[in-house]
Amino acid sequence: MTVDLTNVFQQIDGDYENLKELLREAVAIQSVSGDPSKRDETIRMVHWMKEKLEAIGTVCELADLGTQELEGKTVKLPPVLLGTLGTDKNKKTLLVYGHLDVQPAAKSDGWDTEPFELVEKDGKLFGRGSSDDKGPVLCWLHAIRAAQKNNIELPVNVKFCFEGMEESGSVGLPELLEREKDRFLAGVDFVCISDSYWLGTKKPCLTYGLRGICSFFVEVTGIKQDLHSGVFGGVIHEPLQDLMWVMAQLTTVDNRIKIPGLYDQVAPLSAAEEKTYDDIEFDVAEFRDSVGAAHLPTEDKKTLLLRRWREPSLAFHGIEGAFYGPGEKTVIPSKVIGKFSIRIVPDMEPEEVNRRTVEYLNKVWAERGSPNIFKPRPGHSAKPWVVDVNDSNFLAGARAMKRVHGVEPDRIREGCSIPITLTFQELTGKSVLLLPLGAADDMAHSQNEKNNKWNYVEGVKTLLAYIMELGSA
């Protein structure tokens, strides 16, 4: 019993100026969670959204998360907005997660326009948060408004969980959700998160996997304090020298990991799964040019996607304790900490990855033969996440996308980690769908973040179609 949405979709197209106006208001609120001087704005953004949800009949509450220490100050954490729209016991319940905070932005960073003023140009809506994640959050609001305007009854109850700290590590949220397991999270049947991106710019997709992460710190010390390189150069074992040598033993030039046994833990790739990569629309040359590289370690589409999504990778982030400014400084740093992380995939277990990595580092260190003090240690870790592409939530998302875009969406994974996905899955025991609405070139976190007008409007339709499809899921 599929409800025909043709007319509603036309109305949504016609309602564009209102959609844009609401996004303009949201972008203008400078809810930068990482900046303590903008904490009031971040809190204001949560209240602004609460009003909008209440206007469509949502019963809202603000869950207080207390305070945090930020740059030496004690600041209030933004509350989490928990909303309940419908409590019909005969209906299933969808939980929607999104975030209302944004990354920092300033025109002087290299933006072409003021980052907190929504500017439309060539079919693109420029502004911080337009795509990550204010745009998608507003798509939920518009989708439900459109249904209400047309007296279409939603086939599911909807709950909202919108936070204001996602860009700053979701401080306090996992603990809150843990506490809400048997109350707010009770009775949830489906979870949907729209906070990721399409693989390209044209074809829609659904995300069924995320890599996990294991972070590492490698500390080398051995001298009491930083030393003058003229006075001491040549007669001490330099910690930085040791550290760079050790780090250089971790990977090959083509970015393959040299830690023994790490690839052995990767779940075998079945012929069926491998075949799904054939149809995925992905232009390697476009990808290579977008990062500005001359060549990539592999330029075969399937191999490249497999490496991004279902193989571990090791990336170097930097060194703490050494000279990092411009120009010259003739110092020998006394204590340096190398930072790298390994993205992990099923069936890799963080504990096992940590163990093998530290073991390898210690083995390499023994070969180095330096008298300095070597302390490798794991940092934070997160498990990888993969969902069954045939589960009812996922299939509802696929049907919705086909209804709006006329094509079967690609099934993709992401190379990055969104730990809250796993938290929702574990606490609700239900399937989590990652339903991206934005294009790959939206430049989230970067200068000139934008949301295409087309993606924004089609996003509203997609979420409405998804909610309707859940009625038969």
Binding flag, residue 316, a copy of itself (CB under 8 A): yes
Instruction: Judge whether 167 is annotated as a binding position.
Output: yes
Q: Which residue has the tokens 């200068």?
A: 447
* Dist CA 290 CA 281 (whole Å): 16
238 is known as an active-site residue: no
- Of 380, 429, 454, 472, the one binding a copy of itself by CB under 8 A: 380
Size of the site for a copy of itself (CB under 8 A): 81
Q: Which stretch binds a copy of itself (CB under 8 A): 28-36, 150-158, 210-218, 390-398?
A: 210-218
Neighbours of 350 (CB within 10 A): 19
Catalytic residue from among 41, 133, 166, 311: 166
- Of 332, 353, 396, 463, the one binding a copy of itself by CB under 8 A: 332
101 is known as an active-site residue: yes
In whole angstroms, the minimum distance from the beta carbon of 408 to a copy of itself comes to: 24
Instruction: Judge whether 317 is annotated as a binding position.
Output: no
Binding flag, residue 324, a copy of itself (CB under 8 A): yes
Please, which residues have CB within 8 angstroms of residue 180's CB and are 6 or more apart in sequence?
63, 82
In whole angstroms, the minimum distance from the beta carbon of 448 to a copy of itself comes to: 12
Q: How many residues does the chain have?
A: 473
H/E stretch holding 159: strand 156-163
* Dist CA 264 CA 89 (whole Å): 47
Q: Which stretch binds a copy of itself (CB under 8 A): 86-94, 271-279, 327-335, 457-465?
A: 327-335
Binding flag, residue 417, a copy of itself (CB under 8 A): yes
- Of 368, 375, 405, 453, the one binding a copy of itself by CB under 8 A: 368
Catalytic residue from among 101, 189, 311, 414: 101
Contact call for residues 131 and 448 (beta carbons, < 8 A): no
Q: How far is CA 30 from CA 33, 37, 38, 39, 112, in A?
A: 9, 10, 7, 9, 18
Binding flag, residue 311, a copy of itself (CB under 8 A): yes
φ and ψ at residue 341, rounded to 5 degrees: -140, 155
* Dist CA 247 CA 443 (whole Å): 30
Q: Which is nearer to a copy of itself, 183 or 224 (CB)?
A: 224
* Dist CA 337 CA 425 (whole Å): 35
Rg (CA), the chain: 24
Please name the amino acid found at residue 391: D
Cis omega before residue 101 (within 30°)?
Answer: no
Contact call for residues 127 and 118 (beta carbons, < 8 A): yes
Binding flag, residue 228, a copy of itself (CB under 8 A): yes
Q: Which is nearer to a copy of itself, 62 or 244 (CB)?
A: 244
Q: Which stretch binds a copy of itself (CB under 8 A): 17-25, 28-36, 399-407, 408-416?
A: 408-416
Binding flag, residue 1, a copy of itself (CB under 8 A): no
Residues β-bridged to residue 68:
75
In whole angstroms, the minimum distance from the beta carbon of 82 to a copy of itself comes to: 28
3-class state of residue 444 by DSSP: coil
- Give the residue numbers marked as catalytic: 101, 166
Q: Which residues are annotated as a binding site for substrate?
A: 195, 228, 330, 343, 417, 445
Q: Which residues are annotated as a binding site for Mn(2+)?
A: 99, 132, 167, 195, 445
